[in-house]
């Protein structure tokens, strides 16, 4: 599938990797639309792109809100060719807090929030977008942002489980819907140099991590876009999880 001229929907594109992907697909002459929870970030995307990127405010953990937003997108005459499931949150918490005298168990509320944002949203958005593609008999591509944490990362039970679920859905849908001309793949980044990474990790820890990465550096967002574009343009690629991690294996 050619990127230029295609309609690309990116979820959670207000900042970070999602915003970078939206801006890069826009620069590659795709018609980019965004679903983003933060209304202010939606407006900022519209302004910064001189109106080329259209953004709808939407809580991606709410299936009804997703249905309404996609209906509005369809009413605007936009038929989605590519879905990038990017929306997600990172949460780190041990299963049992051994040194705590109270609230020793992993937060149930945090577990549910991570699952709603990182896994439920992928299921909700993809099912509705794919239904539209099938109804219009259109070929399409779904790219979901996973993580190498899906292999199991100590202290990230909820996040690792959600991303493993994303990988499982990717494999399942590729087998289930390939005959209808739909392709599915996921990108599993390692440690990417973003403002959120810098905010979450100390410089000492980042330095230690870089020594564990065979390429001895953090990844950059350009590598994520290059991977997403490769998936879109390679019509024989489906059911694949691309690990973009500099050789780091968790």
Whether residue 198 lies inside any domain: the answer is no
Q: Which two tokens stand for residue 75?
A: 């009413």
Q: Which two tokens stand for residue 18?
A: 């999602």
Q: Which domain holds residue 15?
A: 7-192+220-244
What is the secondary structure of 111-152 as a DSSP string? HHHHHIIIIIHHHHHHHHHHHHHHHTT--EEEEEE--GGGG-
Whether residue 249 lies inside any domain: the answer is no
pLDDT for the residue 201: 74
d(CA 161, CA 184): 19
pTM for the predicted model, two decimal places: 0.95
Which residues are tagged catalytic?
159
Whether residue 74 lies inside any domain: the answer is yes
pLDDT for the residue 209: 86
What is the distance in angstroms between the CA of the first residue and the CA of the last residue of the chain?
Answer: 33
How many separate domains does the chain show? Answer: 1
Provide CB contacts within 8 A for 249, sequence distance 6+: 148, 151
Whether residue 202 lies inside any domain: the answer is no
pLDDT for the residue 243: 96
Whether residue 1 lies inside any domain: the answer is no
Residue 230: give its domain's CATH number. Answer: 3.40.50.720
Q: Look-up: residue for tokens 């100390």?
A: 202
pLDDT for the residue 100: 86
Whether residue 146 lies inside any domain: the answer is yes
pLDDT along the chain (250 residues), means of 10: 98 95 98 97 95 96 97 96 96 92 93 97 98 96 96 94 98 98 97 82 84 93 97 98 91
pLDDT for the residue 196: 77
């Amino acid at each position: 599938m050619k990127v230029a001229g295609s309609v690309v929907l990116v979820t959670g594109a207000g900042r970070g990797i999602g915003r970078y992907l939206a801006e890069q697909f826009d620069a590659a002459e795709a018609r980019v639309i965004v679903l983003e929870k933060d209304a202010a970030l939606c407006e900022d995307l519209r302004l910064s792109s001189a109106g080329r990127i259209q953004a709808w405010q939407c809580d991606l953990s709410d299936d009804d809100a997703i249905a309404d937003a996609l209906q509005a997108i369809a009413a605007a005459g936009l038929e989605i060719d590519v879905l990038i499931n990017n929306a997600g949150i990172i949460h780190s918490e041990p299963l049992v807090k051994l040194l705590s005298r109270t609230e020793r168990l992993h937060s149930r509320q945090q577990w549910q929030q991570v699952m709603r944002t990182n896994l439920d949203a992928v299921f909700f958005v993809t099912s509705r977008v794919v239904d539209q593609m099938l109804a219009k008999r259109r070929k399409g591509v779904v790219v979901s942002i996973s993580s190498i944490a899906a292999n199991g990362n100590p202290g990230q039970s909820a996040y690792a489980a959600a991303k493993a679920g994303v990988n499982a859905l990717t494999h399942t849908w590729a087998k289930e819907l390939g005959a209808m001309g739909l392709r599915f793949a996921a990108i599993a980044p390692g440690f990417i140099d973003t403002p959120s990474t810098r905010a979450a990790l100390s410089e000492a820890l980042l330095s230690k991590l870089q020594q564990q990465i065979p390429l001895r550096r953090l990844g950059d967002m350009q590598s994520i876009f290059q991977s997403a574009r490769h998936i879109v343009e390679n019509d024989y690629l489906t059911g694949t999880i691309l690990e973009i991690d500099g050789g780091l294996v968790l």
